[in-house]
Amino acid sequence: MTLRALSGAMEPGEKIPPVRELAAQFGVNPNTMQRAMVEMERDGLVYTERTSGRFLTKEEQVLAEKRKAFAREETKKYLDYMKKIGFTTEEVAAYVKALGEKGEETT
């Protein structure tokens, strides 16, 4: 759900399906999905309108900040993993740059 919100697959202010529907879609317990929704609301990604349900925030700045934070966390995990298998930061940067620019692997 968070990835859909951050990737732009959902529009700011878009209504979020009910918890039970999301739980079935993602194959998790409704209680787990409810906790995830509460966390997303606490993080400012989601807001609740009492009689209408939950919605993705309309605050594009919040979405941009969360997107950057997510990218930072995932990049750090990737970099840490690559260092564990023997790559330097410079080597990893070269691979990422080559793949991003040319869609090719470096050797």
Tell me which H or E stretch contains 49: strand 46-49
pTM above 0.75, yes or no: no
Q: What is the pLDDT of residue 101?
A: 86
The residues, any chain, with a CB within 8 Å of residue 66's CB and separated by 6 or more, are: 2, 5, 6, 43, 44, 45
Q: Are 56 and 12 in contact (CB under 8 A)?
A: yes
Mean pLDDT of 38-55: 94
Q: How many CB atoms lie within 10 A of CB 102?
A: 9
What would the pLDDT profile of 25-42 be if each residue is shown by its tens digit? 999 999 999 999 999 999
Q: Report whether 55 contacts 12 (CB < 8 A).
A: no
Q: Which fold has domain 2-58?
A: Arc Repressor Mutant, subunit A (1.10.10)
Residues 6+ apart with CB under 8 A from 99: 105
Is 60 exceeded by the pLDDT of residue 106?
no
- Which residues does 6 contact at the CB level (< 8 Å), separation at least 6? 63, 66, 67, 70
pLDDT per position as a tens digit, 71-105? 999 999 999 999 999 999 999 999 899 988 876 55
